[in-house]
Amino acid sequence: MGDVQTVELKGKDIQKDQFKTKFTNDELQGLFRNFKSLDANNDGFLSKEEFLQIEALQQNPLVTRVLEIFDDDGNDKIDFSEFVHALSIFCANDQEEKDAKVKFAFRIYDVDNNGYISNGDLFRILKIMVGDNLNDTQLQQLVDRTVLQADKDKDGKLSLSEFQSFIANSDIESKLVIDLAVANQM
């Protein structure tokens, strides 16, 4: 869906068959209302500043990186189609959606978008997360240990499958969930 279509969309025009999503038409209508309420300048897009109207995101150090991933076309703003696609990852709990959540988490760490998490990628994201709580030497040691432990083929970087194996016993998928009932109360 292109930028022009998104700006011209009206709530009554939103139908499930326009989007590759499991959301119902009623859920899409609610998401559209939320989208429009966040769109402070009514341009049909959400900027980082508009996203930061959501209180829960204001203290999230990774919000910029998350928005980069949501922004499929790389224009530094989120249109409604990108908004729906991104939220669909977080609102379902079947196996396909759990896999999508793991891929999303992988993409957070794959800063240079080359399909691998390098030592540098991991350092950058962890630096954002820990801030000044660890100095660069301590952080690099943590990164080195993590890569050493997770890098099964010893090529110095983590593939998606190595990342999946490394986090297999975590509950990351359960932390990447949005309750639509709560979201629709925005």
What is the C-alpha separation between 142 and 163, in angstroms, rounded? 16
What is the reported pLDDT for 97? Answer: 72
CA angle 31/174/109 to nearest 5° reads 85
Q: Tell me the CB-side half-sphere exposure of residue 4, using CA atoms within 13 A.
A: 0
CA distance 125 to 111: 8
Say if residue 20's pLDDT is above 80. no
Buried b (16+ CB within 10 A) or exposed e, 31-54: bbebbeebbeeeebbbbbebbbee
Give tens-digit pLDDT for 22-48. Answer: 788 888 888 899 999 999 999 999 999
DSSP the chain: --HHHHHH--GGG--GGGSSS---HHHHHHHHHHHHHH-TT-SS-B-HHHHTTSHHHHT-TTHHHHHHHH-TT-SSSB-HHHHHHHHHHHS--SHHHHHHHHHHHHHHH-TT-SSSEEHHHHHHHHHHHHTTSS-HHHHHHHHHHHHHHH-TT-SSEE-HHHHHHHHTTS-HHHHS---HHHHTT-
At 4, the pLDDT band (50, 70, 90 cuts) reads: very low
Q: What distance in Å separates the CA atoms of residue 15 and residue 17, rounded to the nearest whole number?
A: 6
pLDDT in tens, 99-125: 888 898 999 999 999 999 999 999 999
